[in-house]
Structure 1
Amino acid sequence: MTITQIIALAIVQGLTEFLPISSSAHLILPAQILGWQDQGLAFDVAVHVGSLIAVLLHFRKDVWDIAMAWFAQFANKQQTADSRLGWAIILGTIPAGLAGVLLDDWIEANLRSVAVIAATTIIFGLLLGFAERFAKVGQGVKNINLPHAVVIGLAQMLALVPGTSRSGITMTAALFLGYSKTAAARFSFLLSIPLIVAAGAWITKDLIGQHLSSQEWLQIGLGTVMSAIAAWVCIKLFLKWIEKIGYWPFVAYRLLLGAVLIILLLTGSVS
């Protein structure tokens, strides 16, 4: 990959990992539409590490408080809002984690196409729009109970399909369950932490034993840094603006992107 491609893909990953528009779709499309070479496993690990650094940095106090409360509950036999949130994150992670282990290879072989991305981009964009329009919201992130965490976790399984958007589907589910826009976003971001770790580890296992060139190490370093910067800016601005602008800009973007992809398919520009 060229330096321009590395920077572009890293920024795209950093931004779309947390916006409700699907990071997997935006990383697949450059190869499908622009003819860019596949970024490879090492680069995938790099941009995931960058996203992880950003979300841990932004939520460092929340993560610390949740972790301390979760471990403390076993000593003092008392539940707190933070320890319950820790359980919610654990339960919300399990469905997607299991589905990833069982279905990742099949999805990789059968669903990484422009047609699938066009369909899921539109369908789940409309679903996010319905949630924005009709859901009665108001509860905060620390009000998320365990049954709701499981529902959000089950919804997160759908994000394995390219174009769905992990953040988009979890925010949509949280909105339908009655949580505020900010609460939906914060829980989605916190829920991303164990999954990003798991995804990075899953990809890394295929790299074990491989000898990377100096050029590949440069790509890894640059990809990690650019992804981390883009993701941190994205999280900060998203949480600042979401209550004001809502999810409609992302719904509109998804519908426009889906329409463009359908036109490209119909004209034979992509397959």
Structure 2
Amino acid sequence: MAISEAIALGVVQGVTEFLPISSSGHLVILQELLRWKGPSLEFDVAVHIGTLFAILVVLRKRIWSLIRDPLAYPSRLILLGTLPTAVAGLIAHFFARRAFESGILASTMLILTGFYLWSTRKAPQGKKDALRTSPLDALLVGIAQGLSVLPGLSRSGLTIATGLHRGLERHWAGEFSFLLAIPALVGAAILEAPRMAKAPILPLAMGTVSAFLSGSLALLFLLKVVRGGKLYRFAPYCWAVGIGYTVLVLL
């Protein structure tokens, strides 16, 4: 892979990973339209490591507070929310990879993501902070994250929207979504680490750095959007991509 391609793909991954438009859905659709094999699995893990570092930097104050008190209530919420994701991720990794390579499936899920994002227009402004969030709230947000193994279902979109519908404060709904992403990203990196050791280092490094930089900016932007109650504004984009691809396939 050329260095310029690695940087470009890293930027795309960094942006689409955090904005509620499904990075996996876009990748599947592009592969179908362009007959493109897509980046290697090793590169995919590398750019996800870049987005992991973006979360660690942007949410460093919250994360540091959890590290200082790992048995605190918010830490237990994150553990509970991670369980459905772990189950879904292992199933997808070992049994169902090829089932998730359909462009029609991805476009359909993107359309559904759009409707779920749009539904947050009517969600009342929540009052639950980290200490008021119930175990059921955390579990439902975790289930939403688990469902996002399907391409086209946005992880950030589903988890934040679920948090908003459960009455979480907007700022906390955004933070909780990305705190939940940390164990999932670490788990994916561990599963694929043996393959990365055999790959060329420079493209992986450039992809990681570009994903980190673009992802940090995208994450800061999205958290601002969520605090303003404007998550639904991403819905028309999801509809446009999902419907547009479906029309192209049917023509």
What range is the shorter-chain TM-score in? over 0.9
TM-score, with structure 2 as normaliser = 0.92
CA RMSD of superposed structures (Å): 1.8
1:232 aligned partner: 216
Whether 1:266 and 2:250 are equivalent positions in the alignment is yes
Give 1 or 2 for the bigger CA radius of gyration: 1
In structure 2, do the counterparts of structure 1 residues 245 and 95 end up closer, same or farther at CA, with 3 Å as the change threshold?
A: closer
Show the counterpart of 2:113.
Answer: 124
Deviation at 1:66, TM superposition (A): 1.1
Could you say which residue in structure 2 is the equivalent of 1:244?
A: 228
Note the C-alpha offset of 1:62. Answer: 0.9
Question: 1:204 is matched by which residue type in structure 2?
Answer: A
Q: 1:146 and 2:125 equivalent?
A: no
CA–CA distance in structure 1, aligned partners of residues 94 and 111 of structure 2: 24
Cα deviation for residue 226 of structure 1 reads 0.3
TM-score normalised by length of structure 1: 0.86
Gap regions ≥5 residues in structure 1? 72-82
Q: Distance in 1 between matches of 2:24 and 2:237?
A: 16
Structure 1 residues 1-271: aligned runs within 5 Å: 1-71=1-71, 83-130=72-119, 132-142=120-130, 143-205=132-194, 207=195, 211-212=198-199, 216-244=200-228, 246-267=230-251
* Structure 2 alignment gaps of length 5 or more: none
Q: CA deviation at 1:9?
A: 1.6
Contact 2:128 2:167 in 1 (8 A): no
| Native 8 Å contact 1:124 1:169 kept in 2 | yes
Percent identity between matched residues is 34
d(CA) in 1 for partners of 2:208, 2:99:
29
Task: Give the conservation status (yes or no) of the 8 Å contact 1:107–1:160.
Answer: no
Deviation at 1:29, TM superposition (A): 2.9
Length, aligned pairs only: 250
